[in-house]
Structure 1
């Protein structure tokens, strides 16, 4: 059995995955500058229907520092809520030491979603599943609003239960399980994890 992935889940997940392992033991940020956001949005134009100016046309979006700051703030909220969603399992190691508090993450996400005329508002008490309701509002940041609305739709859906943090060595990614036995975000991570476990077992058996 293999699972499908909705457009909202893909968009929210891909936003979180703009923080990634850099191949040298560190963490890279695909949204470090406005040009990176421009490239990312153009690559995801098909997942952003109805958001003003978001098309695959090369001239459709040229992100500035204001847009970049808004999307990065939203990404921090999304990653904090992803950490909540995978709990009690550990979050991505790239986020574990600097997660936003749950209340601040929710406020930031809902405020971003309010930059569109129709506002989905997410509430999530400690003992319940997330609850989604709609409220009227007006705003002027369709990009951030579209991303926030996708994240809210994903987090309020049963699809959230398939979210996992990959804990293979050096990986900092979140992923959605695509089949019931999936443990890692991609096969290369599974290979690294198996090699690491073999190394640890060898050390334990030899004492060195």
Structure 2
């Protein structure tokens, strides 16, 4: 399955397993680990400092606002539904981040292989390259075919976005579906127990 960097970025805010929300980018160490786990292309030459962490978090805030706008009129993720950045500000932040790296499209065609596009960067600062790459990934996702299937997980306490893979999918993963069904079962039985019309 192809990696989706934009979804991975917004998924750095997640359910912590105890009813709260965890932020994988809350610390310098967490941010460095997340960047390293994305692979050497993204992490090349990057040393995470507070300035870079803040830029990645600000970009994530913009992308989450645009994801919420994309799933509308469906509900956005409950993690930040109460404090979403306005869409025009989110667009400006995303486009500014992507525009900070001058790139030239190149055709890569290995012998006996399939031609593929790649971007050649003139930017020397690895921090700028990283933030711009994350912004371009979000632009690619939001302008691509997967955007039509983007959803906010409907499970209790889940804060993730996911790409719907089949017609009836409501949750990002099976454990969220199990949690949603258990909550629905509990509500039904609690309502039945408090119904005064029952003997």
Shared fold by TM > 0.5?
A: yes
Once residues 27 and 146 of structure 1 are traced to their aligned partners in structure 2, the CA distance between those partners, rounded to angstroms, is: 26
Q: Which has more radius of gyration?
A: 2
Match of 2:46 in 1: 61
Matches within 5 A, 1:18-57: 18-45=12-39, 49=41, 54-55=43-44
Match of 2:87 in 1: 102
Q: TM-score under structure 1 normalisation?
A: 0.78
Q: Is it true that 1:81 corresponds to 2:66 in the alignment? A: yes
Secondary structure in 1 aligned to 2:14? strand
Q: Is it true that 1:182 corresponds to 2:169 in the alignment? A: yes
Q: TM-score under structure 2 normalisation?
A: 0.82
Match of 1:14 in 2: 8
Q: What's the CA shift for 1:179?
A: 2.6
Matches within 5 A, 1:187-198: 187-198=174-185
Once residues 203 and 66 of structure 1 are traced to their aligned partners in structure 2, the CA distance between those partners, rounded to angstroms, is: 49
Match of 1:169 among 139, 156, 175: 156
Q: After the TM superposition, list the runs of 4 or more consecutive aligned residues in structure 1 that deviate by more than 4 angstroms.
A: 137-140
Q: Which has the higher helix share?
A: 2
Match of 1:203 among 187, 190, 194: 190
* Residues 71, 87 of structure 1: alpha-carbon distance in 2 compared, 3 angstrom cutoff: same
* Residues 6, 152 of structure 1: alpha-carbon distance in 2 compared, 3 angstrom cutoff: farther
Q: Aligned Cα RMSD in Å? A: 2.0
> Which residues of structure 1 form unaligned runs of 5+?
120-136
Q: What is the number of equivalent residue pairs in this alignment?
A: 176
Q: What's the CA shift for 1:6?
A: 4.6
